[in-house]
Amino acid sequence: MPVYRWCFAIALLAITSTALADDIPDPSKTPGAARAGLTRQKICLIKWGQDERHVTAAMKRQVFESYGYTGNDDPKCVPDKRGRHCEVDHLISRVLGGADVVTNL
């Protein structure tokens, strides 16, 4: 088999195997959202990590439910090397102007 066919076969396998996985984020559930009214200057002036966040426990539950998870300790959540399970994060990072809304979590 020529080299290009091997490359194509490997690429096809990679694409189909990831399509079958429980990939997240799912753009139909988490399209992303930016904070309104932010300018580059405002973003650069915010002290990230020290500013006020507006993600509630109810919002996190809603995100988990939309993906079919029961929460941070769902059996589908495989612990990382530090033992942490699933967590809700921003699709568009807050540092880049991402909003604290369910469609961005």
The pTM of the whole model exceeds 0.85: no
- Domain assignment of residue 2, yes or no: no
- Domain assignment of residue 3, yes or no: no
Counting the structural domains of the chain, the total is 1
Task: Give 49-100 pLDDT, tens digit per residue.
Answer: 777 778 999 999 999 999 999 988 888 888 888 887 888 889 998 888 889 9
- Domain assignment of residue 6, yes or no: no
pLDDT in the model for residue 60: 94
- Domain assignment of residue 19, yes or no: no
> Residues 6 or more apart from 24 whose CB is under 8 A from it?
30, 67
Rounded-to-5 percentages of helix, strand, coil across the chain: 40, 0, 60
pLDDT in the model for residue 37: 85
> Residues 6 or more apart from 8 whose CB is under 8 A from it?
none
- Structural domain range at position 87: 25-104
pLDDT at 6 over 60: no
- Domain assignment of residue 35, yes or no: yes
- Domain assignment of residue 37, yes or no: yes
- Domain assignment of residue 18, yes or no: no
CA 40 vs CA 63, 79, 95: distances in Å? 28, 36, 10
